[in-house]
């Protein structure tokens, strides 16, 4: 149980660290990105970049969790659902600023990308107790 909780917490931390690092890179390397971020007026390419940022962060979070929780499938799903729950209010608040497809793509990608990241570390099959078989 400790490994599962530690894995979920580590996954959340990894998600934040990766997203922050990539976002800071966007600000430093992408002309106009900082201004667009302040005004929440992103180009289509910037929105796509932000979706890739979310996908990469979720992959890394799932990978980190699987490294700690030894392939516990339930823990990976919990992390993906927790990320979704945490981001729903943020996207609700920003709903009018971005296309609906952007919000839906981001929110509906969190669980599958987290699962994929875990799968990269601990390939399936995973049994019902969460241990790799």
Span 69-90, pLDDT tens digits: 987 889 999 999 999 999 999 9
Comparing 53 with 127, which gets the higher pLDDT? 53
Q: How many CB atoms lie within 10 A of CB 50?
A: 20
Provide the whole-model pTM.
Answer: 0.89
Q: What would the pLDDT profile of 98-107 be if each residue is shown by its tens digit?
A: 999 999 999 9
């Amino acid at each position: 149980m400790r490994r599962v909780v530690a894995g979920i917490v580590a996954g959340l931390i990894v998600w934040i660290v990766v997203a922050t690092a990539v976002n800071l890179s966007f600000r430093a390397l992408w002309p106009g990105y900082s201004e667009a971020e302040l005004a929440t007026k992103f180009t289509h390419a910037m929105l796509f970049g932000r979706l890739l940022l979310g996908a990469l962060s979720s992959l890394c979070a799932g990978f980190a969790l699987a490294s700690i929780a030894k392939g516990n499938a339930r823990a990976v799903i919990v992390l993906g659902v927790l990320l979704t729950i945490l981001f729903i209010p943020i996207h609700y608040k920003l709903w009018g600023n971005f296309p609906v497809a952007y919000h839906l793509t981001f929110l509906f990608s969190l669980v599958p990308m987290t699962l994929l990241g875990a799968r990269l570390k601990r390939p399936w099959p995973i049994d019902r107790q969460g241990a790799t078989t």
